[in-house]
Amino acid sequence: MSQSVRRGLCKLGFDPVQTTAAVISNMRITRPLLFAIALAVGAGCAKQDWIDRTLVTENVSGTWSGTVGGRAILRLDLQHEGPKVTGLLKWLTGAASEPVEGSVAGDVFTFKTARGTVSGELTINGDEMTGQIIGWPLGGQGTRLISLQRENASSGANPPTR
């Protein structure tokens, strides 16, 4: 920049050297500030905490019975150790019993029969579980509401490890 241009700008109240220094100084402050804001916004948009998805807070050991779709009656005999659940699903309408495997994460119990004909996701609330199952023992797909009550806790049932 020529001296005459600089003197002309200074007379107008604009000093390019001071302005450049101020911009650089502001950039030193602005970059970390923008980074902190981006981090805060990103954290606010984050998904559910991984601890909530993996922490076992309910024990589903025992015998559960109830209705599926408001009509069919079933019984689940479950053994629960850590997040893993195993057991037997028995339809009280005469269909064959099937082994089930599942898991508990927080207050959600998910399971699937060994043959894969029935799967479900239930929310646990003390001695009650409600949710949906997909499938039917003799085949067929479709989602049905399910409501189960615990008849009794399994003898020697251990609370889930946390």
Instruction: Give me the residue spans of the domains in the chain.
Output: 3-44, 52-152
What are the 10-residue block averages of pLDDT along the chain, 162 residues in total?
A: 67 63 63 74 59 66 91 89 92 84 92 91 94 80 90 59 44
The pLDDT assigned to 94 comes to 74
Tally: H helices and E strands in the chain: 3, 8
CA 1 to chain centre: 61
Cα→Cα distances 21→25, 28, 29, 55, Å: 6, 11, 13, 53
Residue 35, Cβ density class (10 Å: 0-12 exposed, 13-18 middle, ≥19 buried): exposed
Q: What tokens were used for 139?
A: 């085949």
Whole-angstrom Cα distance, residue 128 to residue 16?
A: 74
| 15 three-state secondary structure | coil
84 Cβ partners below 8 Å, 6+ apart?
Answer: 101, 102, 103
Whether the CB-CB separation of 104 and 62 falls below 8 Å is answered with no
CATH superfamily, with its number, for domain 52-152? Calycin beta-barrel core domain (2.40.128.20)
Residue 57, Cβ density class (10 Å: 0-12 exposed, 13-18 middle, ≥19 buried): middle
Whole-angstrom Cα distance, residue 46 to residue 43?
A: 5
Whether the CB-CB separation of 87 and 104 falls below 8 Å is answered with no
The pLDDT assigned to 140 comes to 67
Residue in 76, 77, 78, 96 with CA at minimum distance from that of residue 136? 96
The pLDDT assigned to 147 comes to 94
